[in-house]
Amino acid sequence: MNLNTYKYFNEVAATGSIRRAADRLHVAPSAISRQIALLEHSLGIMLLERSNTGIQLTPAGMMLERYTRKMCRDLDRIHESIKNLKGLRQGEVKMWVIEAVVQEVLPRIMTEFNKNYPAIQFSINTESSDRTIEAIVSDEIDIGIVYNLGNRAGIEIVKQCPAPVQCLVSPTHPLAQRHSLTLEDICAYPVALPVSSFGLRQTFDKVTRSLHLIPQSIVNTNNLELTKAMAIAGRTLTIGPKLIAVKEIEQGLLCAVPVDNNAMASASIEICVHRDRSLSSAAHQFLKQVCKEFDRITFSSSTP
């Protein structure tokens, strides 16, 4: 059984489709089907279940995917490193980030990086902080940018940037003209919040529970655009670092009011990698570029 067989299998497991895996690997779907059939025959067990809705891993398939995922990723890194020794700049950077970074920071960094390394490809997803940490641990991605998660097993925080949680409100809201707000002030009004897998929500919940406060949460969503839209409408407020609402603040649609609480004021954006795994040459170079750019960014400004 050659190593490509396991790579084909892992790509099918990741995409849930033989055709999508074939497109990503630039091979014929029939070649992937044939190799997986040979793998199932050699192991004497089915690895995939095919249905009208796609492909699911069997219990044996899940076990094999878990043990071969790192092997395939390591082989990709080795191949890339060898190519780089010959002066080639090839590879792919896999990265999951919070929404604010995608909207305001990442496009600028990627554009600058692409000028120097035009052959490097990017796979970028926006995900909750919890899901991003899971992906780093399971070696699905190279780099994660999360919000205020702190220390996690197996995770190295490469850079930490202050990004205080602020109250984001419409200029017409009763709290908009305040110089600062307490959590008691915030909990007295309807609030739109991200779901509990977001580091932002975890920070807010931890602090409000410690103060025995019950927020009037009327919206819980994994979409920060919706929380901002609710705040812009006027009756509801939301929370977050100022970075998530730069455009809305510049347009006069929202105000950012500091929150008078140490835990909220000390929140941060964190750039993370796996503690015990080496990055590919492409990912390592891009990580350096991201950290350099983050050194120049101010996330903590509280000026409305």
Which token pair is 155? 């995770």
What pLDDT score was predicted for residue 82?
67
Which token pair is 10? 């892992």
Give the span between the Cα atoms of 250 and 254, in whole angstroms: 8
CATH topology of domain 166-266: D-Maltodextrin-Binding Protein; domain 2 (3.40.190)
What pLDDT score was predicted for residue 88?
45
- Please, what is the Cα angle at 123 between 97 and 293, to 5 degrees? 50
Write the single-letter amino acid at 226: L
Q: Tokens 């043990």, residue? A: 67
CATH topology of domain 1-79: Arc Repressor Mutant, subunit A (1.10.10)
Q: Where are the domains of the chain?
A: 1-79, 166-266
CA distances from 115 to 18, 104, 110, 120 (A): 34, 19, 9, 10
Q: What is the pLDDT along the chain (304 residues), one digit of tens a residue?
A: 577 788 888 888 888 888 888 888 888 888 888 888 888 888 888 889 887 777 888 989 888 888 788 777 777 766 666 666 555 466 788 999 988 777 778 888 999 888 888 888 898 998 888 889 988 988 889 999 999 887 788 899 999 989 999 999 999 999 999 999 999 999 999 999 999 989 899 999 999 999 999 999 999 999 999 999 999 999 999 999 988 898 899 999 999 999 999 999 999 999 999 988 888 888 888 999 999 888 877 555 444 3
What pLDDT score was predicted for residue 304?
39
Alpha helices (runs of H) in the chain, residue ranges in sequence order:
3-15, 18-25, 29-43, 59-85, 99-104, 106-116, 129-137, 183-187, 199-210, 224-233, 246-250, 262-265, 281-295
Phi, psi of 218 (to 5 degrees): -105, -15
Classify residue 278 by its DSSP letter. P
Write the single-letter amino acid at 183: L
Give the span between the Cα atoms of 48 and 64, in whole angstroms: 11
pTM above 0.95, yes or no: no
Phi, psi of 229 (to 5 degrees): -60, -40
3-state DSSP call for residue 36?
Answer: helix
- Please, what is the Cα angle at 247 between 244 and 248, to 5 degrees? 85
Q: Sheet holding 237-240: strands in order across?
A: 216-221, 190-194, 237-240, 166-169, 255-258
* Partner residues linked to 207 by β-bridges: none
